[in-house]
């Protein structure tokens, strides 16, 4: 049985990555692609690497007949999904790759995104899309909220430790190295090649990054009390990938054991042998996440390094993984692509 898929916001990088993945997915068929400003163009003109595929032309969102659609991937700038999802026929399942449904609390949403949510009832309904931890709810969900790419990378490293009380909750520091595709395809001077090619720079330091809303929500749920991590993302001269260094206080061996146990049967998450650290380039273009635990010379200190591809496991691959569950497919269908290296 083939599932009819629509992708909204197909002209962004996560939209293109969805198309790339679905191109070899055995039971998904793309029946509609929207991109408001590029409506009328063919996908192959917007993304020449997809020109060989037989794809519907880009249309405006309102031109799509959702009656023939089983599942929608919404890869829209934040703010645009709320009304859209609210107005879709109830029978259409939705995986939202943006930020609109990640936070359950309307006040938290307004705090981090600067405006009230227009569909607070959907905020409640939406299931948080970190598949390995919300698998059962996702299977039955109509609306799944894809996580932030940074949020996924760090949560894979920390959730089992916070949940099991293995680390000091007041001293968690996460330093991230981010490939630049995470900034999307919109035009900003500081995203020009010449600005970034020989540069490394942090941004939104000190507690200003919006993905903190997700961390605060999820870690508080796990800990049963507020948890505020320190979080610094950095732009490095790479296109894809996030490498997160998480510095914690706790017993390194116990931390490693907890992670290894948690992910023992997970198809996409690999915990490396104790003391070994992963490299960002070894998960590129795959749905894999590699995690390592390194003990420090200082007692009771550990470094947990987690890495994934922001466009795949951090966004579009995760979205397909969730859609597989929602559509009754095996979770790994179409997602066992091996990483590209070098």
Of the pair 103, 243, the CB lying nearest its own copies is at 243
Rounded to whole angstroms, the Cα distance separating 3 from 69 reads 8
Q: Is position 39 an interface residue for its own copies (rule: CB under 8 A)?
A: no
| From 80, 230, 257, 327, residue interacting with its own copies (rule: CB under 8 A) | 230
As measured in angstroms, the least distance from the Cβ of 131 to its own copies is: 17
Beta strand residue intervals within 35-135, DSSP E: 58-59, 71-74, 93-96, 127-128
As measured in angstroms, the least distance from the Cβ of 239 to its own copies is: 5
Of the pair 305, 319, the CB lying nearest its own copies is at 305
β-pair type (71-74, 143-145): unpaired
Q: Is position 181 an interface residue for its own copies (rule: CB under 8 A)?
A: yes
Of the pair 89, 114, the CB lying nearest its own copies is at 114
CB 137 within 8 A of CB 212: no
| From 139, 196, 260, 333, residue interacting with its own copies (rule: CB under 8 A) | 196
Binders of its own copies among residues 152 to 171 (CB under 8 A) are 171
As measured in angstroms, the least distance from the Cβ of 140 to its own copies is: 29
Per-position x/- string for 304-333, each x denoting binding to its own copies as judged by CB under 8 A, each - no binding: -x----------------------------
Judged by CB under 8 A, the stretch of 84-92, 96-104, 109-117, 301-309 that binds its own copies is: 301-309
As measured in angstroms, the least distance from the Cβ of 191 to its own copies is: 5
| From 93, 102, 117, 290, residue interacting with its own copies (rule: CB under 8 A) | 290
CB 264 within 8 A of CB 206: no
| From 131, 155, 284, 306, residue interacting with its own copies (rule: CB under 8 A) | 284
Of the pair 259, 285, the CB lying nearest its own copies is at 285
Q: Is position 234 an interface residue for its own copies (rule: CB under 8 A)?
A: yes
Q: Is position 260 an interface residue for its own copies (rule: CB under 8 A)?
A: no
As measured in angstroms, the least distance from the Cβ of 324 to its own copies is: 16
Q: Is position 19 an interface residue for its own copies (rule: CB under 8 A)?
A: yes
Sheet architecture: strand order including 289-295 = 201-202, 230-235, 173-178, 242-249, 301-308, 289-295, 269-271
Q: Which residue of the set 149, 174, 246, 289 is catalytic?
A: 149
DSSP-assigned beta bridge partners for residue 178? 235, 242
Over the range 261-297, which residues count as b (16 or more CB within 10 Å of their CB) and which as e?
Answer: ebbeeeebbbbbebeebbebbbbbbbbbbbbbbbbee
Q: Is position 68 an interface residue for its own copies (rule: CB under 8 A)?
A: no
Of the pair 67, 198, the CB lying nearest its own copies is at 198
Q: How far is CA 31 from the centre of its chain?
A: 24
Q: How far is CA 179 from the centre of its chain?
A: 14
As measured in angstroms, the least distance from the Cβ of 34 to its own copies is: 19
Query: How long a stretch of residues is the chain?
Result: 342
Rounded to whole angstroms, the Cα distance separating 123 from 111 reads 15
Confirm whether 149 is a catalytic residue.
Answer: yes
Of the pair 101, 268, the CB lying nearest its own copies is at 268
Sheet architecture: strand order including 127-128 = 58-59, 28-34, 3-8, 71-74, 93-96, 143-145, 127-128
- Kindly state the tokens that stand for 46: 């917007």
Binders of its own copies among residues 91 to 150 (CB under 8 A) are none
Judged by CB under 8 A, the stretch of 93-101, 135-143, 150-158, 185-193 that binds its own copies is: 185-193
- Kindly state the tokens that stand for 280: 């960002």
CB 292 within 8 A of CB 304: yes
Which residues are annotated as catalytic?
Answer: 149
């Amino acid at each position: 049985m083939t599932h009819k898929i629509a992708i909204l916001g197909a002209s962004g990088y996560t939209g293109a990555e969805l198309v790339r993945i679905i191109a070899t997915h055995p039971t998904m068929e793309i029946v509609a692609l929207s991109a408001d400003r590029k409506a009328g163009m063919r996908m192959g003109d917007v993304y020449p690497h997809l020109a060989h595929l037989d794809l519907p032309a880009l249309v405006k969102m309102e031109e799509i007949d959702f009656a023939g659609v089983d599942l929608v991937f919404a890869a829209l700038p934040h703010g645009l999904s709320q009304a859209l999802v609210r107005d879709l026929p109830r029978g259409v399942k939705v995986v939202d790759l943006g930020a609109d449904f990640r936070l359950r609390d309307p006040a938290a949403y307004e705090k981090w995104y600067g405006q009230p949510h227009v569909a607070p009832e959907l905020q409640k309904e939406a299931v948080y899309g970190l598949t390995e931890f919300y698998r059962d709810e996702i299977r039955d969900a109509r609306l799944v909220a894809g996580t932030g790419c940074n949020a996924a990378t760090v949560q894979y490293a920390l959730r089992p430790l916070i949940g099991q009380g293995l680390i000091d909750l007041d001293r968690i520091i996460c330093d991230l190295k981010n490939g630049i595709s995470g900034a999307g395809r919109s035009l900003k001077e500081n995203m020009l090649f010449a600005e970034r090619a020989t540069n490394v720079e942090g941004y939104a330091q000190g507690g200003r990054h919006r993905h903190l809303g997700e961390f605060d929500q999820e870690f508080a749920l796990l800990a049963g009390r507020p948890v505020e991590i320190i979080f610094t993302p950095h732009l490095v001269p790479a296109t894809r990938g996030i490498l997160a260094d998480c510095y914690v206080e706790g017993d390194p061996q116990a931390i490693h054991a907890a992670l290894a146990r948690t992910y023992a049967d997970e198809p996409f998450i690999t915990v490396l042998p104790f003391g070994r650290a992963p490299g960002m380039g070894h998960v590129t273009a795959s749905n894999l996440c590699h995690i390592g635990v390194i003990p420090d010379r200082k007692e009771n200190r550990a470094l947990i390094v987690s890495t994934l591809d922001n466009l795949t496991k951090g966004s579009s691959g995760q979205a397909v993984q969730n859609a597989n569950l929602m559509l009754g497919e095996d979770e790994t269908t179409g997602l066992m692509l091996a990483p590209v290296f070098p």
